[in-house]
Structure 1
Amino acid sequence: MSTTHPGGEPAAATKQLVIERILRDRDGVWQQIVDEQELRPLVRQMVVSSALSLALYGAVLGASYGWQQILSSLVKLPLLFLVTLAICLPTLYLFNLVFGARLSMLQAVALILVSITVTAALTLAFAPVSLFFLVTAQSYEFYKLLNVAILLLCAVVGLRFLVSGMQALNDHQQRLAPAAAPAPARAAAPPAAVPAQAVPQAVAVPAGSTPATAPTQVVAAPAVPAVNGMPDRPPLYVGPPAHYGRPPGPAGQRPASMSLLYIWILLFGFVGTQLAWTLRPFFGDPGQPFGVFRELGGTFYADLLRTVGRLLGG
């Protein structure tokens, strides 16, 4: 018996790489996350895919120094992204709870992992470019800046997927809102149409006749047209004006704030860059002996500016 996934694609089609599915069928991935169907296998696949891709790219970063730095960076680059996820995940989850969005912890993990998986796959795609400049440029400062720019570009593209996924979740909640909105209160049903035979008859009295002797002429009152047994009159609705605007969603369910998501993305970037500075070196400074970690001090941004100054100063 074959099964079908939320995106409408058969289970056999999910044999493709998870990154390929994200890029080819992102709407199906968003629907799977919205429906919370088979999220745990999806999360496992994304963790494995992103860890392998980042490990291979970390080995490329360390190739400028030696095999010890290759092994160190191979472990530290996946650790950098996954630890940043663990640090920033509670903030994203609580932001959504505070503003009423029903985003479960597993859905939040899946959304962020989609972003990290895309970032990791793109960095791996840039690995041949990085190796090419490692061989041809022979400049530590240039090599470091090149790879920082590659990681920054890939992270920006990956975070756009996070924004797209959150927007898909919001659209799903807004589609559910009209169905869950309370129906406006209706006034008591007006009486049914009165048959023409039961309408009181009007008597026409000719001039010079008395009511007792005058002939009578029955004039039937016009019947009120009825539609489905009810008179054709505009129905009366009772309710506050808010019911006639945008339909309210289910109680306690509102779209996630996209503005807060952008703030969270900035937080994610600051935490990631500072954690990268804490876990350094990734490249290995040719002027210093090998070390798994360096002493704490300074910031990532100050070191980046110093590197640019040394590169431009020759």
Structure 2
Amino acid sequence: MLSLKAFLVPVLLMTLWLANAAAEGAFGPQGAEGEPNRAQAWLVPSPDPKVASHAVLFRPPGDGPFRLAVIAHASTENVLLRGQMPQPQYRPLASLLVARGFAVLVPERPGHGATGGQYLEDQRGCDEADYAHSGRATAEEISTALTYLRGQPFIRHDGALVVGHSAGGWGALALANADPAEVSSIIVFAAGRGGHANGFPNQICAPHALVAAAGEFAHGARVPVSWLVAANDSYFSPDFSRKLADAFRAGGGKVDFRVLPAYDGEGHWMAETENGVKFAASELDRALKGPSPPPSARARKP
């Protein structure tokens, strides 16, 4: 059994490292704000103490405090493509959220692009993929960035939103057991991992394992999930996505599953494009009209 000392020492060392790194300016804004939506490069902590995640932060006018939205990007098991990934920005999606009062953070997770470092969310192959591991690793990366931003004076402590796309959506599902006072809702676009197995559309690595992990993520879930998928998604089809959502619901999660009409040539990338976000805007607004905590003693005061 792990001793209390063995548990606390690494936690203490991580806390001290984060404090020192922040004091030395390793985290935070990396340049001036730009347009649109006060776009600004940031560095934020990751679960790997040697790696700071590159990120883009968007904000409404004013000083806040604003509710926070974190957008979790898609990924790939191809190490070369991951290394060449440009900074994810999701500008159209961020613009929609900024217009609705959110400050929006888009962090690039370890193992990707300029962030670099170890790929913590490896699903460990295709035939025997460990989707529970990969999803929880992604969730930890999202949560680390979210926790850091909640410490900023312009961010509220309550009512955060997590939006995930593909592998990012899979990680967002693993956050459904968060404190609903801190994370009030989750929206996922085509959540999953292992799509396009061996490069073939409509083929998924170990689909049974993906369904089982969706049920695991729902244990203790308290945050409602809105699940969106386009009719022509060739990574995670509506029929298969519904199986995932049903497994999540059967495991105790609260999920509102919606199929959107076919979008462009490949619906999987809807969340990344301006027309795709316009296409999904009504469903996004419906999801955002869920329980929204009013300003309270839990909110960050100016």
TM-score (norm 1): 0.31
* Higher helix proportion: 1
* Higher strand proportion: 2
Larger RCO (alpha carbons 8 Å, 6+ apart): 1
Higher alpha-carbon Rg: 1
